[in-house]
């Protein structure tokens, strides 16, 4: 099999994995917000659900570590790609697609 096709297949899986981690982070952060807001809406003490809140924070930290590892993986694989002499971009993935993803309605500016 040609190197470029293998590289594209691996790159595709890498992008999917990165996206899955980002999605999991968004969902875990939303869960955290709902836990806190739900407790406040019900007028409950801060100690109610505290252990669950801590566990969600730990999960978010683990997802952050997973994301950092995936970014490092991405950088490492970019170097491997160049060493193999593969100089093409992943088919169907370009700067316009990246910019479109960044303007996704699911993403919004913090502030």
pLDDT in tens, the chain (111 residues): 788 888 889 999 999 999 999 999 999 999 999 999 999 999 999 999 999 999 999 999 999 999 999 999 999 998 898 888 887 665 445 555 555 555 555 555 554
* Cβ pair 9, 41 in contact under 8 A: no
Number of structural domains found in the chain: 1
Q: Please report the pLDDT score of residue 29 as a whole number.
A: 97
CA quadruple 23, 25, 28, 30: dihedral sign: negative
Residue 107 lies in a domain: no
Q: Please report the pLDDT score of residue 3 as a whole number.
A: 86
Residue 110 lies in a domain: no
Structural tokens at position 41: 């809406």
Residue 96 lies in a domain: yes
Residue 26 lies in a domain: yes
Q: Three-state DSSP class for 49? A: coil
Residue 43 lies in a domain: yes
Burial (CB < 10 A; 0-12, 13-18, 19+), residue 1, is exposed
pTM comes to: 0.71
Give the domain range for residue 55. 3-102
Residue 25 lies in a domain: yes
Residue 108 lies in a domain: no
Q: Please report the pLDDT score of residue 71 as a whole number.
A: 94
Largest CA distance in the chain: 62
Residue 53 lies in a domain: yes
* Cβ pair 27, 105 in contact under 8 A: no
């Amino acid at each position: 099999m040609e190197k470029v096709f293998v590289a594209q297949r691996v790159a595709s899986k890498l992008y999917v994995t990165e996206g899955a981690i980002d999605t999991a982070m968004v969902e875990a952060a939303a869960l955290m917000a709902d836990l806190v807001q739900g407790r406040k809406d019900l007028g409950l003490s801060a100690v109610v659900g505290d252990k669950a809140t801590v566990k969600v924070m730990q999960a978010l930290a683990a997802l952050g570590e997973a994301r950092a590892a995936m970014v490092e993986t991405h950088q490492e694989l970019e170097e491997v790609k160049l060493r193999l002499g593969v100089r093409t971009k992943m088919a169907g993935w370009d700067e316009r697609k990246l910019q479109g993803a960044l303007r996704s309605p699911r993403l919004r500016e913090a502030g």
